[in-house]
A = this chain, B = another copy of it.
């Protein structure tokens, strides 16, 4: 996602899927390579990810953790900054209400990015929500410098949990 002055634009979004019948370490390799390729292609200045969600079970947390680990590794290797936001922070930033419904968040993501449709699948829309959350926070953090450096600004990559 890119910020042009006060306007936000979706540069690219999507989800990474891997074959369920493939061995785990090879699936992780696919995730790593695709995230690394995306970071190289768009060269974002920052990556934003959803922080740990507690309302899940141990097996899911473990699986998601492994996928997230290799995605974060790709960020580290590409040299971009990493930021984490809770689902509540994302809702607050996107909708203005920390307990917003999923559908409200998706609709606001669509509106804020000026898209015709809600980005699909849901994970992609969620990831853009995280990127918007970061952009809003960043706007508050460095509002003074924004006008000056807008020309050099690079996009922000938002990442939602990968499918596994």
- Residues of A at the B interface (CB closer than 8 Å) are 23-26, 28-29, 32, 52, 54, 56-59, 61-70, 72-73, 75-77, 82
Which of the listed residues A23, A65, A68 has the most CB atoms from chain B within 10 Å of its own CB? A65
In the bound assembly, the distance between CA atoms of A82 and B62 in angstroms comes to: 17
Q: A24-B82, A29-B76, A72-B24 are in contact. Are A62 and B65 (CB under 8 A)?
A: yes
The reply to whether B23 and A73 form a contact with Cβ atoms under 8 Å apart is: no
Copies in the complex: 2
Interface residue SS majority, chain A: helix
Could you give 26 example pairs across A and B, Cβ below 8 Å?
A: A23-B82, A24-B72, A25-B76, A25-B82, A26-B76, A28-B72, A29-B73, A32-B73, A52-B58, A52-B59, A52-B62, A54-B58, A56-B58, A57-B58, A59-B61, A61-B65, A62-B62, A62-B65, A63-B65, A64-B65, A65-B65, A66-B66, A66-B68, A66-B69, A66-B72, A69-B73
In the bound assembly, the distance between CA atoms of A57 and B108 in angstroms comes to: 34
In the bound assembly, the distance between CA atoms of A69 and B54 in angstroms comes to: 19
Closest to A56 in B: B58
In the bound assembly, the distance between CA atoms of A52 and B65 in angstroms comes to: 12
A72 to chain B, nearest CB (A): 4
